[in-house]
């Protein structure tokens, strides 16, 4: 996918600023606009934020809901390769941050040596991360058992969103986030993560041994049903074999919505502190 006009504007602004870029990668069921508060936060901290698309991302939530099928067939490699194109256009190696599937893609890019530092928040599963807690089976298991899922645009019901994302929030905030942010997600990417440990050719692979990976922080929410601590910690155990700095933080009383809910600033500050210490 070609770099969009919006992405080009962010690239040009980052290069003109002379500041360290920070590339934010969204995950399934969100759009780049979900990083708006984070982009402002890091801009105020002296960085140049970029929020690249997944290939063919609609611009607005309204557009995504009107034409959900465009979101259904995006693969992990397509997302990683497109984000790598954005990074290649930057004058300075960026910090890379991602949430959920975006956290997996961030680690894929770090494994290619493309990141000055990486923060993976509630990161999706890659090959070699073996735990499969019950909450994951309850949340996404029905999708993975349906042979129609691959290539399909997957929309969560509010009850599914409340369980998988907003279980640490009250009903009112859960509904607010669902209405503001939720869009269909790629069945292709979900299946790739779900099959990572049974498909040797999976795209859900991370080079955890590359010495050019750079510093890595994994952040996970204590109450996350979608990426429980067992999954995040298993990813950390794979990554800590790398010679680079590797850390993990567990955020108390936080669910999968931790980047977009009322407590996002605490998570962003944790990420910023790590970047400042390690770049």
Quick one: which of 113, 93, 124 has its CA closest to 25? Answer: 124
Nearest partner of 111 among 99, 127, 100, 122, judged by Cα: 127
Whole-number pLDDT of residue 14: 99
pLDDT at 139: 80
pLDDT on residue 146: 67
Percent of the chain with pLDDT strictly greater than 70? 98
pLDDT of residue 45: 99
Tokens 């960085």 — which residue? 47
Q: Read off the pLDDT of residues 135-170 as tens digits, 9 standing for 90 and up.
A: 887 888 777 766 667 778 999 999 999 999 999 999
Confidence of residue 201 (pLDDT cuts 50, 70, 90): very high
Query: Could you report the per-residue pLDDT of 56-79, keeping only the tens digit for each?
Result: 899 999 999 999 998 988 999 999
pLDDT of residue 131: 81
93 φψ region: left (φ > 0), alpha (ψ -120 to 50), beta (else): beta
Are the C-beta atoms of residues 95 and 117 closer than 8 Å to each other? yes
Ramachandran quadrant class, 11 (left: phi over 0; alpha: psi -120 to 50; beta: rest): alpha
Burial letters 83-101, b for 16+ CB under 10 A, else e? bbebbebbeebbbbbbbbb
Supply the pLDDT for residue 147: 66
CATH code of domain 5-278: 3.40.50.1820
What pLDDT was estimated at residue 145? 66
Q: Describe the chain by its helix, strand, coil percentages, rounded to 5.
A: 45, 10, 45
pTM for the structure as a whole? 0.96
């Amino acid at each position: 996918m070609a770099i969009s006009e919006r992405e080009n504007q962010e690239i040009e602004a980052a290069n003109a600023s002379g500041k360290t870029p920070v590339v934010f990668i969204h995950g399934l069921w969100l759009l780049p606009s979900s990083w708006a508060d984070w982009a402002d936060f890091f801009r105020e901290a002296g960085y140049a934020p970029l929020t690249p698309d997944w290939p063919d991302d609609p611009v607005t939530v309204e557009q995504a809901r009107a034409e959900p099928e465009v979101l259904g067939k995006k693969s992990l490699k397509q997302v990683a390769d497109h984000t790598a194109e954005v990074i290649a256009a930057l004058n300075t190696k960026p910090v890379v941050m991602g949430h959920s599937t975006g956290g997996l893609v961030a680690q894929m890019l770090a494994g290619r040596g493309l990141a000055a530092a990486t923060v993976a928040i509630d990161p999706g599963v890659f090959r070699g991360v073996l735990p499969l807690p019950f909450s994951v089976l309850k949340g996404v298991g029905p999708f993975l058992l349906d042979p129609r899922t691959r290539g399909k645009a997957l929309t969560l019901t509010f009850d599914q969103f409340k369980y998988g994302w907003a279980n640490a929030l009250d009903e009112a905030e859960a509904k607010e986030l669902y209405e503001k942010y939720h869009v269909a997600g790629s069945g292709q990417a979900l299946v790739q993560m779900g099959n990572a440990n049974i498909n040797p050719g999976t795209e859900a692979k991370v080079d955890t041994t590359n010495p050019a990976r750079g510093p890595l922080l994994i952040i996970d929410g204590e109450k996350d049903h979608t990426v429980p601590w067992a999954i995040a910690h298993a990813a950390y155990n794979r990554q800590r074999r790398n010679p680079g700095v590797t850390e993990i933080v567990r955020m108390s009383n936080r669910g999968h919505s931790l980047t977009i809910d009322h407590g996002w600033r605490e998570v962003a500050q944790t990420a910023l502190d790590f970047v400042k210490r390690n770049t």
